[in-house]
Chain A
Amino acid sequence: MDLWTIIIISIIKILFVVTITLLTVSYLVYFERKISAWVQDRIGPNRVGWYGLLQPFADVFKLFLKEDIVPDASIKSIHTLAPIITLFVAFSTYAVLPWGPPVNIFGYEIPLVLADVNSGILIVLALTSLGVYGITFSGWASGSKYSLLGGVRSSAQMISYEISMGFSVAGVLLISESLRPAAIIESQSGWMWNAFIQPIGFITFLVSAFAETNRLPFDLPEAEPELVGGYHTEYSSMKFAAFFLAEYANMIISSGLIVTLYLGGWQVPYIETFGLSSGWVTMMQIGAFFFKVGAVLFFFIWVRWSIPRFKYNQLMNLGWKVMFPLALVNLVWVAILVMLLN
Chain B
Amino acid sequence: MAKKKRLKDLNFLEKIYLPEISKGLVQTFKKMFQPRFTMEYPEVKFEPPDSYRGRPVLVQEENGEERCVACGLCSRVCPALAIEIQAGETEREKERYPERFEINMIRCIFCGLCEEVCPEEAIIMSKDYELVFSNREDALYGKDKLLVPINELQDRINFLRKHK
Contact = CB atoms under 8 A, between A and B. Distances in A.
Contacts of B18: 203
A333 interface: no
Interface stretch (A34-42, A69-77, A108-116, A253-261): A34-42
Contacts of A306: 21, 24-25, 27-28
A35 B21 contact: no
A84 B80 CA distance: 56
Given A39-B31, A41-B31, A203-B18, A302 B25 contact: yes
B37 interface: yes
Contact of A38 (B24, B25, B31): B31
A39 B21 contact: no
Interface string B129-142: 00000000000000
Interface in B15-58: 18, 21, 24-25, 27-29, 31-32, 34-38, 40
Contacts of A40: 31
A41 B36 contact: yes
Contacts of A203: 18
Interface string A305-328: 111000000000000000000000
A43 B24 CA distance: 21
A133 to B, nearest CB: 31
Contacts of A303: 21, 25
A27 to B, nearest CB: 18
Contacts of B21: 303, 306-307
Interface residues of A, number: 14
B88 to A, nearest CB: 50
B64 to A, nearest CB: 43
A93 B84 CA distance: 71
A38 B29 CA distance: 9
Contacts of A41: 31, 34-38
Interface in A88-116: none
Contacts of B40: 43, 46
B36 A39 contact: no
B28 A39 contact: yes
A303 B18 CA distance: 12
Nearest to B15: A322
Given A203-B18, A306-B25, A43 B31 contact: no
Contacts of A35: 32
Q: Is the interface of A mostly helix, strand, loop or mixed?
A: loop
B131 to A, nearest CB: 23
B32 A39 contact: yes
Interface string A31-73: 0000100111111001000000000000000000000000000
Contact of B29 (A42, A43, A46, A302): A302
Contacts of B31: 38-41
Given A203-B18, A307-B21, A42 B37 contact: yes
A39 B26 CA distance: 11
Contacts of B27: 306
Contacts of A305: 28
Nearest to B33: A38
Interface string A206-245: 0000000000000000000000000000000000000000
A42 B25 contact: no
B32 A38 contact: yes
Contacts of B34: 41
Nearest to B21: A307
A321 to B, nearest CB: 12
Nearest to B20: A307
Contacts of B24: 306-307
Nearest to A203: B18
Contacts of A307: 21, 24-25
Interface in A289-309: 302-303, 305-307
Nearest to A217: B21
A39 B25 CA distance: 10
29 contacts: A38-B31, A38-B32, A39-B31, A39-B32, A40-B31, A41-B31, A41-B34, A41-B35, A41-B36, A41-B37, A41-B38, A42-B36, A42-B38, A43-B36, A43-B38, A43-B40, A46-B40, A203-B18, A302-B28, A302-B29, A303-B21, A305-B28, A306-B21, A306-B25, A306-B27, A306-B28, A307-B21, A307-B24, A307-B25
Given A41-B37, A203-B18, 18 more contacts: A38-B32, A39-B32, A40-B31, A41-B31, A41-B34, A41-B36, A42-B36, A42-B38, A43-B38, A43-B40, A302-B28, A302-B29, A303-B21, A305-B28, A306-B24, A306-B27, A306-B28, A307-B25
Closest 8 CB pairs of A and B: A38-B32, A306-B28, A43-B38, A41-B37, A39-B28, A306-B24, A42-B38, A306-B25
